């Protein structure tokens, strides 16, 4: 099936068939969530968020669409969390708001990160800690957990064994052979599972367009040390708040050059506190300082570790660039963006970069120096995995459409028949029966927007209105008519915002609006108020488009005397 094609409603699920429905993460980089359904029970793998783009103004987060399972939450046997990044755990609080006692299954660090997040939502979850090599029976699903290497410690793949066949879900992974924590992707376990037979292989597609092999994390250490060695003032490093490996390297480089480190940003402070407490982050003695102490230290002895590497408007780095953060940047400060650009965030990130450079800061990013390596397998690593696992069917996951297609082609190149490569999208339904997988339908699966305290109330139409307001402006026209006389009693009064410098520009159109309204009332006294308002909308809309080359939001109000 080609991504983007629409299918019919899937047939009723037969006993012994395992149904797989991705509710997020296929077609976008984020909000990863996959539902597995068998004999009346449901297993969920990951439940993450997607961060909004510029065409989604006012939106805080985007969630997977829970409507497919919302009335069947009692059937959910558990949520397996492959690792602790926001795009895999960030939506868990919103799922548990619907049913708080759904069990969460994950590694020690992953569960610690989600428990801290849930504490803010005043939810105490049921959790089951697992580690690589463990096997757990969750309803009819037998889940074996496999160590994989990623840009956060304690990541796991999961093999789901069912009467319908065996499914191997990689989660996010790469094959770093020299990882900082010494924990490599367990290809021996992948090979053993492959020998037993993997009927459906769900593989991370994020780097499927990138040739070769992902660079080892250790190569960043020397680059960071070199940058800090030549820095004469403060060093500000921006990264994801959960990127423990990257932050470890910043701590090591700072320690080597006699600098103190301050974590900036609530999520950064919280997550690194958890990682240090559990032993995943090795903090040199005396290196950490509080934000209040930073101003008392010489600039050449300070490293600030903050959030905002994706240009998030409320994150610490964006606020520094705008000059509204407690930390005021000075000319000569060095800012290092130690992360990749998530697709869609480029404009936001470079807006922040420009703001930083206007303040006189030097900015170093991945395009200039090796200050970031990906956490995802590139083409060479994916080839190895396909050849080791030798799956019968492949379903690329985690990525935009182009990534999924590229991953599918890699699978084909290793001998997986084209008809066994299932290119799907959010809401696609895949049924696995007796080891054979095929796409059988489609379920509704939209974006669910979090906007302040509202969840799912904002629609795409609302976002379009916001775009129009922001880009084209707003015009309101108030008129009072007398139906008996067919005349305008008052108005039209025009008020505009963001359309023209002076409202007097509308003087010439007022007469046209009044004439059109009077003609409409006199020609048909039964015109509804809505119809009269549409008359006003057409007249001023045509005039504004022709005269001012704008398409503002127009709100006509017609009252009766």
DSSP 20: E
Element (H, E) at 247: helix 244-256
CA atoms of 252 and 224, how far apart (whole Å): 9
Find out whether 340 is annotated in a ligand binding site.
no
Residue 445, Cβ neighbours under 10 Å: how many?
22
Q: Rounded to a whole number, what is the distance in angstroms from the first to the last CA of the chain?
A: 61
Report the DSSP beta bridge partners of residue 362.
334
Nearest by Cα to 30 from 332, 306, 399? 399
DSSP 174: B
Q: Is 109 helix (H, G, I), strand (E, B) or coil?
A: helix
Q: Is 216 exposed, middle or buried (0-12, 13-18, 19+ CB in 10 A)?
A: middle
CA atoms of 151 and 82, how far apart (whole Å): 12
Report the DSSP beta bridge partners of residue 61.
450
Q: Is 64 exposed, middle or buried (0-12, 13-18, 19+ CB in 10 A)?
A: buried
Find out whether 85 is annotated in a ligand binding site.
no
DSSP 182: S
Distances in Å between the alpha carbon of 62 and those of 204, 348, 427? 20, 17, 16
CA atoms of 232 and 230, how far apart (whole Å): 6
Find out whether 453 is annotated in a ligand binding site.
no
Angle between helices 379-389 and 401-413 (to 10 degrees): 50
Q: Which residues are CB-neighbours of 553 under 8 A, at least 6 positions away?
A: 465, 468, 469, 472, 473, 474, 475
CA atoms of 179 and 303, how far apart (whole Å): 24
Q: Is 52 helix (H, G, I), strand (E, B) or coil?
A: coil
Whether the CB-CB separation of 345 and 28 falls below 8 Å is answered with no
Find out whether 373 is annotated in a ligand binding site.
yes
Find out whether 372 is annotated in a ligand binding site.
yes
CA atoms of 6 and 24, how far apart (whole Å): 16
CA atoms of 108 and 19, how far apart (whole Å): 29
Rounded to the nearest angstrom, the gap between the alpha carbon of residue 527 and the centroid of all alpha carbons in its chain is 48
Whether the CB-CB separation of 274 and 109 falls below 8 Å is answered with yes
Helices (H), ranges, 121-211: 187-196
Whether the CB-CB separation of 513 and 495 falls below 8 Å is answered with no
DSSP per position, 255-313:
HHTT-EEEEESHHHHHHHHHHHHTTSS---TT-B--HHHHTTS-GGGEEEEES-TT--T
Show binding-site residues.
Answer: 372-376
Residues making up the binding site for substrate: 372-376
């Amino acid at each position: 099936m080609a991504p983007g094609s629409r299918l019919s409603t899937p047939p009723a699920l037969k006993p012994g068939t395992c149904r797989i429905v991705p509710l997020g993460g296929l077609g976008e980089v984020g909000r990863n969530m996959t539902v597995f359904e068998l004999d009346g029970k449901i297993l969920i793998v990951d439940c993450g968020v997607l961060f909004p783009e510029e065409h989604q103004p006012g939106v805080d987060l985007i969630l997977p669409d829970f409507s497919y399972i919302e009335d069947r939450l009692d059937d959910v046997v558990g949520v397996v969390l492959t690792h602790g990044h926001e795009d895999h755990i960030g939506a868990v609080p919103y799922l548990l708001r619907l049913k708080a006692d759904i069990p969460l299954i994950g590694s020690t660090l992953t569960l610690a990160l989600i428990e801290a997040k849930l504490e803010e939502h005043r939810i105490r979850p049921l959790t089951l800690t697992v580690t690589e090599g463990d096997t757990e029976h969750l309803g009819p699903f037998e889940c074996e957990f496999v160590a994989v290497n990623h840009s956060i410690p304690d990541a796991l793949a999961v093999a789901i064994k069912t009467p319908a066949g065996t499914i191997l879900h990689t989660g996010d992974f790469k094959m770093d052979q020299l990882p900082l924590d010494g924990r490599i992707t367990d290809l021996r376990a992948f090979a053993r599972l492959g020998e037993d037979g993997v009927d459906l292989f769900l593989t991370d597609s994020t780097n499927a367009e990138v040739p070769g092999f992902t660079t080892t994390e250790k190569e960043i250490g020397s680059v960071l040390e070199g940058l800090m060695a030549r820095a004469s003032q403060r060093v500000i490093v921006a990264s994801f708040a959960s990127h423990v490996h990257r932050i470890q390297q910043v701590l090591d480089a700072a320690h080597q050059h006699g600098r103190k480190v301050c974590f900036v940003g609530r999520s950064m402070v919280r997550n690194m506190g958890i990682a240090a407490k559990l032993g995943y982050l090795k903090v040199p003695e005396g290196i950490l300082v509080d934000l209040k102490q930073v101003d008392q230290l010489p600039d050449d002895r300070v490293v600030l570790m903050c959030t905002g590497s994706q240009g998030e408007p409320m994150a610490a780095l964006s606020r520094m660039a705008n000059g509204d953060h407690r930390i005021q940047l000075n000319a000569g400060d060095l800012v290092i963006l130690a992360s990749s650009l998530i697709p869609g965030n480029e404009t936001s990130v470079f807006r922040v970069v420009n703001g930083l450079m206007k303040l006189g800061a030097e900015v170093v990013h991945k395009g200039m120096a090796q200050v970031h390596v990906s956490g995802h397998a590139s083409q060479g690593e994916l080839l190895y995995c396909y050849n080791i696992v030798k799956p019968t069917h492949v379903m690329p996951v985690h990525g935009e459409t182009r990534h999924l297609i590229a991953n599918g082609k890699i699978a084909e190149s290793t001998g997986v028949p084209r008809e066994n490569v299932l290119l799907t999208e959010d809401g696609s339904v895949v049924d696995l029966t007796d080891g054979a997988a095929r796409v059988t339908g489609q379920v509704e699966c939209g974006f669910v927007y979090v906007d302040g305290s509202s969840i799912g109330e904002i629609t795409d139409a609302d976002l379009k209105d916001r775009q129009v307001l922001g880009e084209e402006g707003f015009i309101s026209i108030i008129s009072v008519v007398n139906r008996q006389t067919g005349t305008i009693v008052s108005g039209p009064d025009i008020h505009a915002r963001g359309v023209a410098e002076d409202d007097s520009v509308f003087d010439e159109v007022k007469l046209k609006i009044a004439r059109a309204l009077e003609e409409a009332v006199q020609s048909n006294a039964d015109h509804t108020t809505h119809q009269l308002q549409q008359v006003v909308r057409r007249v001023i809309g045509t005039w504004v488009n022709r005269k001012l080359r704008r398409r503002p939001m127009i709100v006509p109000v017609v009252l009766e005397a």
